[in-house]
Each structure stands twice: as structure tokens, then as C-alpha cells.
Amino acid sequence: MANRVFEDRLGLWIVNPANFPARAAGIRALGVKDVFLPRSAQPSDFAAVRAALLYARLWAAVDGLSAADYANRTLLDIQRLRPGAVELNIELNSDPPLAAYIREVITLIRSKRRFLRLRINIAPFKAVFLPADLLTSDPNLYACEQTYAGGMRRFSEADCYDDLLSWDVPPEKATLCYGAAQPNSTTGPSRVVALPDLSRRNQGVIFQDDLCAEVGLL
């Protein structure tokens, strides 16, 4: 079952690992199997996820680093935390270098970790910058497109999924990143999705646990 991450299971990003123990039961109740912890997590946090009978994964933000620095830092985090799978949250301030940036990151990580399961997580409608050739040839490389923008403004899940497919991401490698809440000037935060369509084979990942808590999902 463990090797099916990114394929037919629902994941959840965690912001603060210290909040996980109190939310573990609720996370399981959502149908989540894969819990993605930030690089600030410690090996003990990964152990706590596994003790809750969930799979402990890593999500790695770019944090303004160069492609080389980001890849090398992520490799060190992989060695330290042993996550089994990594979500590469690749968001840059401008688009022109994005394609080259993504390709360099994947190439550098693959030079050290040939078989590790990786997923490239990008902003809405940025699939044009994904390395479709690598996604096709690398059996352990996946792609994920966010369905929200700044301020958690929602985009159509169907449109984001179609964006991935239109730029030759293999359907079996295409997943979505669902925003858990969006602001509403009248009522405050509200749920963006009841939850992803769980009949879909590629269930994707939810961003993130604090937003889920705000809207009563956790």
C-alpha cells in the first residue's frame, strides 16, 4: 500500500507538526492516508504520524532559493527525515525561469535519489512549465496543480486538471491540490470543497490542516 502515494490516496499538508497529535483522529476521518510535514519537522514528528497509522511524507517549499540550493537542501532533509515521498512546492515570483528551475531541481535530486517518489506542486495554470518528458519517462515523478490562488481564491478543479492534461502530463500522474478554505467578506472563511471527488483515482492533496480546522473539517 505504501507505494501508492500520489496515485489513489488523499493527502494533507501540515503547517505546524505540533498540532498533528490532537488532529490525528480527524485527519483519518477525512480519509487522508498521507500526511505531508514541513522541513521544520523532526524525526519524532514523522514517528508520531506513523504511530497514528498514517504515512509520513515531506513537503518542501522553495523559500526563494536557487534551484541548486533548493535541491541540495531538500536532499539533506530527505536524508534527515526519511519521508518516503516528497512534495516539491515550486512557486517562483516570476514565470520565465520556472521551466528551467523545475527541470534543474528534478535532475539534481534524481542524481542522488533515483527512485524516490516526487511530486511537483505548481500554481494554477502553470502546467506549461512542467517537464512532460520527465513525467512520462520517470515512473516515480508526479505533478500536482493548485486549485486556488492568493487569498485562497478558488479556481475550477476541472479546469486545473485539464490544464495538466493539455500540457501532456500523463493522466495517471496528474493530481490536484485543493484549498481547504477561502475568505468570504460576509461570513468569514468557508469551505472551498466538501472534499475532492473521492471516486477519482487520483485524489491529490489538501492545503492545509489549519485551514481545515478553521472551517470545521478538523
- At 35, which CATH number? 3.20.20.80
SS3 helix, strand, coil % of the chain, rounded to 5? 40, 20, 40
Go through 61-98 and write b for each residue having 16 or more CB atoms within 10 A of its CB, e for each that does not.
bbeebebeebbbebbebbeebebbbbbbbbebeeeeeb
CB 176 within 8 Å of CB 144: yes
Residue 215 grid cell: 472551517
- Number of H helices and number of E strands within the chain? 7, 10
Closest CA to 177 of 130, 154, 189, 165: 154
Q: What is the DSSP letter of 203?
A: -
* Separation in Å, CA 157 to CA 33, 128, 172: 21, 17, 16
Structural domain of 179: 2-214
Specify the number of domains making up the chain: 1
Mean pLDDT, consecutive 10-residue stretches, the chain (218 aa), reads 77 97 94 95 98 97 95 98 96 84 98 97 96 97 91 84 95 91 64 58 84 86
- CA atoms of 188 and 198, how far apart (whole Å): 27
